[in-house]
Structure 1
């Protein structure tokens, strides 16, 4: 595991000072080679020993080893994410495809590391036993919410997709403690989603949030969290990585729900009916 992956995966379990160091390194990784441990400490207003302890806690001998590892990770990611020389024609297209594949693989690995198996098992159990599952998303998040709702429906789970959070409270007001609300919000900043989560939890329901692996208001209202990590220097590539990593994460949850034999039988029956309708 690269040093940057390790920092991202461990961030939620760090102390406040450690998170400040982690965020600085993740946001300024390409500049880290110019910082000594004392300069990094001065930039953050902390002690030099805090920087050294942070490095050792991650498994490095000290800050120089951490800095060297981060430099290696940047060089490796640069080679993988579009910095390789490209030729013409088919070679150019092949290079583009390989670069994108590698970038997606990195995002999916990071996302897997920050979503432990017991968390995914817990969410899949909630979905198996839910009377109703409400799914809400806006814009691109709505696409993921709708797709996941369709898959849950094929498993025999009553899944209700909403693309407008303003219309949801009336329906949520009839929810029961056995219901689940899944809120898809990449950046987790919508105040309306936070209000929905509060309302739903007041009625005893369980709330699952799907956001980026960043500190955001919506995560504070979740019973369970699905977190996505997707980073790239190219702004136009980042949404592609996010959607790819998110889909892979949802696929894992779907497969866990499918481990229930009754649900899987329902899925097979529904697939047969769909094929019959399409063939007809």
Structure 2
């Protein structure tokens, strides 16, 4: 059994569930605090599905049955409620912004946990190996995605990897015109819906290159045309909060990948230290 909260697992895996499973998942997420009053048959009746669908859903998450899932969710709700109550009690004695900061920090932690759950260590290792072996790396992202893309491209370059960043689809397509076998492109796109990036991805793969997509944990065109995918799970109903959670979870995921590259190839650390020192001398002679 995964040590993470069942609610975190359900939210993280929701986008890959069947239609009936999503209905069960949404009900559990929206009514977790009331779940103790529902038997598997009552839940099935409320959703107009079979009781066996509820049981199979529970077992797919790794539980023996619905009672075990319900008990685990109840424990999770009680745990989070205790944490929130403690945070609120502390907030009464502190500045209002302290309570706001604490709440945001907890939501970021949840997003990072969800994201870690859906990116298996073996997958991160495979992506790190693909990047390390690439003759050339191209990193791209449009709009706000380009900020994270440019930052990560810089860090890859500091490791001594042949890496360039492009934030314009035309320049990106031109840069990839001479792509070689096993060149790798990392494509940043939160929702994975940009047709131009999807077309460039298809073109690169046709030349023998590899594509790594970095998107939300949803079915999207960029992910469909990628050899490997990094996935971000960050959810909040508040429009001002959800982008903050996405960026925080994405940054943590990229940090883990960066460290994997450092650990996998010791010589990369030599390049990193030399390049950081060179930049320090340029910026602070």
TM-score by length of 1: 0.86
Task: Give the secondary structure class of the aligned counterpart of 2:219.
Answer: coil
Report whether the alignment pairs 1:87 with 2:92: yes
Unaligned runs of 5+ in 1: none
Provide the rounded CA distance (Å) in 1 between the counterparts of 2:23 and 2:171: 40
1:135 and 1:68, CA in 2 relative to 1: closer, same or farther beyond 3 A?
same
Report whether the alignment pairs 1:58 with 2:90: no
1:81-107 deviation digits (Å, cap 9, x = unpaired)? 79946437x432222222111111111
- Aligned match of 1:265: 270
Report whether the alignment pairs 1:19 with 2:18: yes
- Aligned match of 1:109: 113
CA contact (8 A) 2:24 2:54 kept: no
Provide the rounded CA distance (Å) in 2 between the counterparts of 1:54 and 1:254: 36
Provide the rounded CA distance (Å) in 2 between the counterparts of 1:211 and 1:79: 33
Provide the rounded CA distance (Å) in 2 between the counterparts of 1:217 and 1:41: 34
- Aligned match of 2:30: 30
Deviates more, 1:61-70 or 1:138-147: 61-70
Task: Give the secondary structure class of the aligned counterpart of 1:87.
Answer: helix
1:168 and 1:228, CA in 2 relative to 1: closer, same or farther beyond 3 A?
same
1:108 and 1:71, CA in 2 relative to 1: closer, same or farther beyond 3 A?
same
CA contact (8 A) 2:119 2:230 kept: yes
Task: Give the secondary structure class of the aligned counterpart of 2:31.
Answer: helix
Provide the rounded CA distance (Å) in 2 between the counterparts of 1:71 and 1:195: 46
Provide the rounded CA distance (Å) in 1 between the counterparts of 2:192 and 2:47: 26
Report whether the alignment pairs 1:275 with 2:274: no
> How far does residue 136 in structure 1 lie from its aligned partner after superposition?
1.1
Deviates more, 1:239-248 or 1:34-43: 34-43
> How far does residue 279 in structure 1 lie from its aligned partner after superposition?
2.2
1:119-138 deviation digits (Å, cap 9, x = unpaired)? 11111111111121111111
- Aligned match of 1:49: 52
TM-score by length of 2: 0.85
CA RMSD across the alignment: 2.7
1:178 and 1:56, CA in 2 relative to 1: closer, same or farther beyond 3 A?
closer
Provide the rounded CA distance (Å) in 2 between the counterparts of 1:213 and 1:79: 29
Provide the rounded CA distance (Å) in 2 between the counterparts of 1:174 and 1:81: 55
- Aligned match of 2:122: 118
Matched ranges for 1:144-159 at <5 A: 144-159=148-163
Report whether the alignment pairs 1:246 with 2:250: yes
Provide the rounded CA distance (Å) in 1 between the counterparts of 2:203 and 2:145: 21
Unaligned runs of 5+ in 2: none
Report whether the alignment pairs 1:174 with 2:178: yes
Task: Give the secondary structure class of the aligned counterpart of 1:231.
Answer: coil
